[in-house]
Amino acid sequence: MKMNFSIEEAVKKRYSVRNYLEQPIEEEIKAAVESFIASLSNPFGKKVNFHYLDPSGMENQQKLGTYGVIKGAKQYIGTTIKLEPLALEALGYEMEVLILYLANKGIGTCWLGGTFNRKAFANAMKVGEELFPIITPYGYPAEKKHLKERAMRKMINADQRKDWKELFFDTDFQTPLTKEAAGDLAFSLEMVRLGPSASNKQPWRILRKDNRWHFYEYKEPGYSKSFPYDIQRVDMGIAAAHFELAVKELGIDGEFDTASKPEVELPKHMEYCFSWIQA
Ligand SMILES: Cc1cc2nc3c(=O)[nH]c(=O)nc-3n(C[C@H](O)[C@H](O)[C@H](O)COP(=O)(O)O)c2cc1C
C-alpha cells in the first residue's frame, strides 16, 4: 500500500460522485487500480474481499439498479466480508484508502450502502455467501450534478460537517478538545472530521485521555435498523483510515489497539470501538 499523494488534497478533492461521464477508465489505469487493491491492508487484521463489475458484465443487467441515485456509471467495485467483530471497520478502512487513491487520480466514486439492488449486484459480481455491505461506482465525474443528486445532498446536508466541539473531547465527554490542545495530532483529527459517512451522520467521536486517542461511535438510535449489521461501523473504519494516513504523513508512529478501553463515563448511545496509541 504505497500512498504517494497528499492525504489532505485527496480528502478535500473527494466527494460523492453520483453523475458520471460515458468515458471508460483506460485499461492501464484499471490495471494500476487493481494492483493497488491487491496491496491494501488494514490495522484490524480482517480480510476484505473486492469484486469487480465491468461494462461487459453490465450488459443485460436490467435490474442492476441504484434507484436513480447513480447515473452514467459503467463500472463498480464491491466489497464482501465475513461478519465478525472489526470486519466492518476493516472494510471501511480499505475501501476509503482506495477511494482516496482514486480521488487523487481524478476518478470519482460514491459509497453505496443502502441505495443499490443488493441481490442483482451480488449476482452480477458473483458474490457468494459472504456479507455484501458496500459497493461503489467508479469513473470520470460529469461536470454537473443531476437533479436527484442535488436534492439528496441538500436533504442530508452533504456539504456540512460537525464542529470540533461536537466530535473531539479531552479526558471526559464534557470537555471539548481544542485544536491548540490537540497539538501535532490536530491535522489528523481535522482529516477525520472531513470524511464521508452514511447519510452524513458523522458518528465518530474521539476522546484523548492520558495521551491515548480513543475512538467511539455515536450510534444513531434506530439508524441501522434496516440493516442486519451496524453500518456506522463502516464509518468508524473510514475515520481510522483518515486518522492513520494523516499521522503517517506527519511521520508520527503509533498503532490501533482494541484492548485499551479507558474508564470513562459515557454519554447515551456512545460505544467504544478502538484506540490509537502513539509509539
Ligand atoms: C458507509 C456509507 C454508506 C453510504 N451509502 C450511501 C447510499 O446508499 N447512497 C448514497 O447516495 N450515498 C451513500 N453514502 C454517501 C454519503 O451520503 C456521503 O458520503 C455524505 O452525504 C457526505 O457527502 P460527500 O461524500 O459528498 O462528502 C454513503 C456513505 C458511507 C460512508
Whole-prediction pTM: 0.97
The predicted pLDDT at position 61 comes to 60
Mean pLDDT of 170-176: 98
Question: How many whole angstroms separate alpha carbon 48 and alpha carbon 31?
Answer: 19
How many angstroms is it from 235 CA to the middle of ligand 1?
Answer: 10
Answer yes or no: is pLDDT of 272 > 80. yes
Mean pLDDT of 2-13: 93
Q: Which domains does the chain have, with CATH numbers?
A: 7-152 (3.40.109.10), 160-278 (3.40.109.30)
The predicted pLDDT at position 194 comes to 98
Q: What are phi and psi of 64, to 5 degrees?
A: -75, 70
CA angle 251, 252, 258 (to 5 degrees): 135
Q: Pick the closest to residue 216 from 200, 205, 201 (CA basis).
A: 205
How many angstroms is it from 113 CA to the middle of ligand 1?
Answer: 8
Question: How many whole angstroms separate alpha carbon 230 and alpha carbon 271?
Answer: 12
| Residue of 19, 48, 197, 230 best suited for mutating to test ligand 1, as the one with most atoms within 8 Å of CB | 197
Encode pLDDT of 33-77 as tens digits. 999 999 999 999 999 999 999 877 676 565 678 889 999 999 999
Mean pLDDT of 248-266: 96
How much of the chain exceeds pLDDT 70, in percent?
97
How many angstroms is it from 209 CA to the middle of ligand 1?
Answer: 31
Question: How many whole angstroms separate alpha carbon 10 and alpha carbon 31?
Answer: 21
